[in-house]
């Protein structure tokens, strides 16, 4: 516990200077970030700790958001409800409330699909599938699509294929796939009949949860624990690049995630403290405003 907190504190040392006290529910540089935990356990400097995240949020600072959670879902046929795959239950053991399951009694079935409606066009990068632990043979052969319409399950972009042996034993219980694209709908689709038992001769989908994790505004990276300080639109949550190319005062690089080096300040760190008539070595000033840390030289003014 103490080690986790220390790591979080170290990773956010750049936020400490300008966020000594933030309004409830806010934290970080200029109090610009939203706490995705109860405000009473959100620190003004580092935000939330992992064990305090609100439902649907995870990651080291609770900035990773599962946008599929409790969204409308449908399937080609229903044995167990398709909504079970977005209800947040990830035990991996199938029953009528924990996993989705398509029908398998109709010999005319040629394909099985499941779809979730995210409600709006979303930039998707990572998709996690929580498979059944008690029956692995239906993992192989699933194709993942990102789509803008629901006219046909395969109208979208095929961003990932689950490939393994017909017993599914070489595919992990939790598969996180890099599946990049933009769309409103995520589709899992199969025409594969694997090494079934009980005389099942049609394609079947059965899995327990699907997560689509995206980063909260102003954060990026695999765990959404890197911070970009863009002036204007927030950064791309995968690459961290700021679309405007302009950083808030005090930060630099295309991701705006690096503080100005000693002796520089301002927008993109393109101004010099040595031009500020500061006391002492004339190079120590606030990285954002340029204010001289030790005051001005005699007769000088900022």
Quickly state the pLDDT bin for 299 (edges 50, 70, 90): low
Q: Are residues 12 and 99 in the same domain?
A: no
> pLDDT grade, residue 300 (50/70/90)?
low
Residues 33 and 156 both lie in one domain = no
CB-based burial label for 291 (10 Å; 0-12, 13-18, 19+): middle
> What is the mean predicted confidence (pLDDT) over 285-290?
91
Question: What length is written for the chain?
Answer: 302
- Lowest mean pLDDT segment, chosen from 123-137, 185-199, 224-238, 277-291: 277-291
Residues 110 and 191 in one domain: yes
Asked, for residue 87, whether it belongs to a domain, the answer is yes
Q: Distance of alpha carbon 175 from its chain centroid, rounded? A: 16
Give the mean model confidence (pLDDT) for residues 42-67.
94
Residue 89 lies in a domain: yes
Residues 54 and 90 in one domain: no
pLDDT tens, position by position, 228-282? 999 988 899 999 999 999 999 999 999 999 999 988 999 999 999 988 888 877 6
Q: Please check whether residue 144 lies inside any domain of the structure.
A: yes
What's the confidence (pLDDT) of residue 1?
44
Where a domain ends, among 194, 215, 236?
215
Determine, yes or no, domain membership for 165: yes
User: Both 21 and 102 in a single domain?
Assistant: no
Q: How far apart are CA 277 and CA 302, in angstroms?
A: 7
Shared-domain flag, residues 100 and 187: yes
CB contact at 8 A, 42 and 50: no
- Residues 171 and 92 grouped into a single domain: yes
Pairwise CA distance, residues 234 & 249, whole Å: 15
> Is 180 among the domain residues?
yes
Q: Please tell me the distance from the alpha carbon of residue 276 to that of residue 260, in angstroms, as a whole number.
A: 16
Claim to verify: residue 15 and residue 80 sit in the same structural domain: no
Q: How many structural domains is the chain composed of?
A: 2
CATH code (residue 196): 2.60.120.260
Q: What is the pTM of this model?
A: 0.83
Q: Which residue has the tokens 């409600």?
A: 119
In the chain, the percentage of residues whose pLDDT exceeds 90 is 75
End-to-end CA separation in angstroms for the chain: 46
Q: Which of 16, 37, 62 is the endpoint of a domain?
A: 62
Query: Which residues constitute the domain of residue 14?
Result: 2-62
Determine, yes or no, domain membership for 78: yes
145 and 26, same structural domain?
Answer: no
- Mean pLDDT taken over the chain: 89
110, 165: one domain: yes
CA distances from 98 to 102, 177, 242 (A): 14, 22, 40
Domain boundary among 24, 40, 62: 62
Instruction: Answer whether residue 50 is part of any domain.
Output: yes
Q: Are residues 106 and 151 in the same domain?
A: yes
For the stretch 152-190, pLDDT in tens is 888 899 999 999 999 999 999 999 999 999 999 999 999
Please indicate, yes or no, if residue 56 is contained in any of the structural domains. Answer: yes
| Same structural domain, 105 and 167 | yes
Q: For residue range 69-94, what is the model confidence (pLDDT) as tens digits?
A: 999 999 999 999 999 999 999 999 98
Contact predicate 80/94, CB 8 Å: yes
pLDDT of residue 272: 92
For residue 277, give both structure tokens: 């008539």
DSSP bridge pairs for 247: 230
Q: How far is CA 160 from CA 113, 163, 179, in A?
A: 15, 9, 6
């Amino acid at each position: 516990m103490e080690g986790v907190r220390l790591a979080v504190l170290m990773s956010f040392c750049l936020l400490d200077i300008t966020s000594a006290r933030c309004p409830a529910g806010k934290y970080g540089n200029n109090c610009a970030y939203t706490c995705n935990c109860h405000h009473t356990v959100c620190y003004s400097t580092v935000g939330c700790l992992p064990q305090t995240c609100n439902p649907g949020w995870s990651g080291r600072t609770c900035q990773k958001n599962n946008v599929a959670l409790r969204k409308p879902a449908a399937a080609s046929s229903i044995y167990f409800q398709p909504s079970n795959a977005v209800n947040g239950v990830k035990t991996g053991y199938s029953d009528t409330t924990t996993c989705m399951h398509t029908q398998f009694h109709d010999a005319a079935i040629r394909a099985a699909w499941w779809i979730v409606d995210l409600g709006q066009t979303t930039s998707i990068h990572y998709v996690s599938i929580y498979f059944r632990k008690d029956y692995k043979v239906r993992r192989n052969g699933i194709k993942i699509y990102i789509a803008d319409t629901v006219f046909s399950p395969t109208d979208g972009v095929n961003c990932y294929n689950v490939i393994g042996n017909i017993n599914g034993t070489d595919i992990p219980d939790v598969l996180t796939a890099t599946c990049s694209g933009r769309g409103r709908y995520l589709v899992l689709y199969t025409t594969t009949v694997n090494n079934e038992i009980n005389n099942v001769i049609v394609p079947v989908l059965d899995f327990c949860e699907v997560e689509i994790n995206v980063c909260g505004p102003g954060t990026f990276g695999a765990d959404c624990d890197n911070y970009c300080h863009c002036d204007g639109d927030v950064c791309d949550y995968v690459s961290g690049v700021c679309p405007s190319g302009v950083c808030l005062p005090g930060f630099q690089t295309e991701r705006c995630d690096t503080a100005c080096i000693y002796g520089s300040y301002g927008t993109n760190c393109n101004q010099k403290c040595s031009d500020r008539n500061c006391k002492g070595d004339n190079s120590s000033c606030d990285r954002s405003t340029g204010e001289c840390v030790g005051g001005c030289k005699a007769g000088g003014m900022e």
